[in-house]
Chain A
Amino acid sequence: MYPNNAHIPHNLTELQNDINKALAFDFSSVTTQKARRVLERESLTVEDLAALLSPAAENYLEPMAQRAMDLTKRFFGRNINLFTPLYLSNYCLNLCAYCGFSFSNKIRRGRLNFLEIEKELLAVKETGLKDILLLTGDNRAKSGPAYIAEAVKLAAGLFPSVGLEVYPLKTEEYAQVKKAGADYVCVYQETYDPDLYGRVHLKGPKRDYLFRLESQSRALSAGIRGASLGALLGLGDFRRDVLAMGVHGLYLSRKFPASDLAYSVPRLRPVIGTRETFNEISEKNLFQIILALRIFSPSFGLTLSTREQPSFRDRLMGIGVNRLSAGVSTSVGGYAGEDHGDNQFLKSDSRDVGEVCRAVITRGFQPVFTDYARL
């Protein structure tokens, strides 16, 4: 599959080629012997990641977990970084078959004005959290780059770390939000399979697969220090999507060696108004995915959201995962108690910041509110 084991994609064409190879990988070809051997290696190739994601590797979840835990401790210590998302607007022009904010969904839409944003920010600040992730739907008329930049500026005045999870921006727009204080961006490819991507993104600007794929590169080129990548697990074949995500991660770490990179592994959650049924991803599958990614990319951050149950989130602390959201609201205006719009997805972990902190401490870890200096 990969003639040169050490092959790393250097440009967009090579990235696409390698993603296509990942999407064509036959996971049933991996023998248990191969999966076991991978665990003896010090650093892994893409093919090794494939082996760890294979059904054969399910026999080695225990040694994989031990190694993942060891690597997480070495890179991140006994720390769990905490953050929370803040929804600014849920107006969206995209028609996505899986999303609660989808254009055709008859949900309550809302957009916070700057006064309301400030109220929300202050309400989050009250909880003690210092890392905030701002989100909007994809609608340049309702939440354009200038609106986002202004929101970032407000947030940066109150929080040492501000992330953005918005539609893909152009390089100069990333530079604009960077200037306003943005520290990192999260852009999830949802699925790396271009055909499936076209089938689930039915209408709207999000249909541009390649523009989305290069988002992190544009953001990092514009001087933003960190970037997250992820696939929405359950849309397609999770093994293929995660393998392609590993290829994408490798590409970014080679192109931007100084940047802070992180993976997210959201599973599809029930949302208002979707009729589609997608692939079931069990907790065991998700566990294997997290272990494989940690072993493949030891220096990457790995975030687990409130889409997952408290018990699962707690167990994964330090075994791959080093960052958790806490005290989350996924509705627009949900923190200051003035609800302006419906939720994006139903969360499974509704614990407040104090409760998450106690859970972190109980498991022998240190809750970390700030691990970043804006420079």
Chain B
Amino acid sequence: MYSPDDDPFYLKGYKFTGRLILGSGKYPLPQIKEVVEAGEAEIVTLALRRVNAGGQENILDFLPQGKTVLPNTSGARTAQEALTLAHLARELGCGDFIKIEVITCAKYLLPDNEQTLQAIKLLVKDGFIALPYMTPDLVMAQKMEEAGAAAVMPLGSPIGSNKGLMTKELIRLMINELTVPVIVDAGIGRPSQACQAMEMGVAAVMVNTAVATADDPPAMARAFAQAVRAGREAYLAGLGPVGEPQASSPLTGFLFTSEPGSSKTD
């Protein structure tokens, strides 16, 4: 019988079993706890720019206890700015996990892979556990791994687009070639798409907009949790090949029959 507890993944030695990562900034704050619990999330992301320390409606006051807060650096446009935000996270008591978001394309919210790589180097040097949001690119991901990233977080499609795994093939190569976990970060709009990502072998999926824009966010979080678990179990069970087997005339028959001149030398 499958139990997520027996099937952990690791981020720089830290053990996690919740494979659905949820956001916190797109719905009313009092709903965060209910959504996170319904989604059985272990990691919850937090936009540092939203922290209203000591003020009204402070998002930090609404994050459920006992979860790993993964602060993100949204708002940063350079590696140096990401580092500044990471240190702010530390000051706020949010720990050393940082999701690096360096975005220089406000229209599609696409990450700047080059600055992100620089940010990983700076953050790792300062002892942070860096999880970069990135545009899927195996060569870049290998450099990020080399620079000390704890995982890579490629986008499935642009943030908020709900288009699912448009970058599927590129993510597949990353799963094959990288040692660090691959976590699909953006574009997952439906539980079936999350399930598909998990079936491919990603370690976890991050979902925010799809849950936040649902009519009933907690119910949608629950649906995602089930899909993620199903996808993970399917991956572990070993998926069969796709498509019907092709029948053709035997290609190896000649090895087993003695035809004139086939295996004899004079």
Using a CB–CB cutoff of 8 Å, the interface residues on chain A facing chain B are 70, 73-79, 128, 130, 253, 257-261, 299, 357, 361, 364-373, 375
Contact = CB atoms under 8 A, between A and B. Distances in A.
Contacts of B84: 375
20 contacts: A73-B26, A73-B212, A73-B213, A74-B209, A74-B213, A75-B160, A77-B25, A77-B212, A78-B27, A253-B107, A258-B105, A259-B106, A366-B28, A367-B56, A368-B57, A370-B51, A370-B55, A373-B75, A375-B76, A375-B85
B81 A79 contact: no
A261 B25 CA distance: 20
Given A258-B103, A299-B108, A365-B28, 18 more contacts: A73-B209, A74-B161, A76-B26, A77-B26, A77-B209, A77-B212, A78-B26, A128-B55, A130-B52, A257-B107, A258-B106, A261-B106, A357-B57, A361-B28, A366-B27, A373-B48, A373-B49, A373-B85
Nearest to A370: B52
Contacts of B106: 253, 257-261, 299
Interface of B: 25-29, 47-52, 55-57, 75-77, 81, 84-85, 88, 103-109, 160-162, 209, 212-213
A299 B161 CA distance: 12
Given A78-B26, A78-B28, A375-B84, A368 B212 contact: no
Contacts of A371: 47, 49-50
A370 B48 CA distance: 10
A75 B26 CA distance: 9
B55 A74 contact: no
B221 to A, nearest CB: 15
- Best-surrounded residue of A76, A259, A375 (most CB of chain B within 10 A): A375
Contact of A364 (B28, B51, B76, B104): B28
A128 B160 CA distance: 30
A257 B104 contact: yes
Contacts of A78: 26-28, 212
Contacts of B75: 372-373, 375
A370 B104 contact: no
A260 B103 CA distance: 11
Nearest to B213: A73
Nearest to B62: A366
A263 to B, nearest CB: 14
Contacts of A373: 48-49, 75, 85, 88
A270 B104 CA distance: 41
A369 B212 contact: no
- Best-surrounded residue of B57, B76, B162 (most CB of chain A within 10 A): B57
A369 B55 contact: yes
Contacts of A128: 55-56
B104 to A, nearest CB: 4
Nearest to A361: B28
A299 B51 CA distance: 22
A371 B47 CA distance: 9
B55 A77 contact: no
A77 B109 CA distance: 14
Contacts of A74: 160-162, 209, 213
6 tightest A-B contacts by CB? A77-B26, A74-B160, A258-B104, A375-B81, A373-B49, A128-B56
Contacts of B209: 73-74, 77
B162 to A, nearest CB: 8
B5 to A, nearest CB: 32
Contacts of B52: 130, 369-370
A75 B56 CA distance: 23
Contacts of B160: 74-75
Contacts of B161: 74
B56 A369 contact: yes
B204 to A, nearest CB: 22
Nearest to B104: A258
A311 to B, nearest CB: 21
B224 to A, nearest CB: 17
Contacts of A368: 50, 57
B32 to A, nearest CB: 10
Nearest to B73: A373
Contacts of A364: 28
B212 A366 contact: no
Nearest to B77: A258
A357 B161 CA distance: 29
A70 B49 CA distance: 23
Contacts of A261: 106
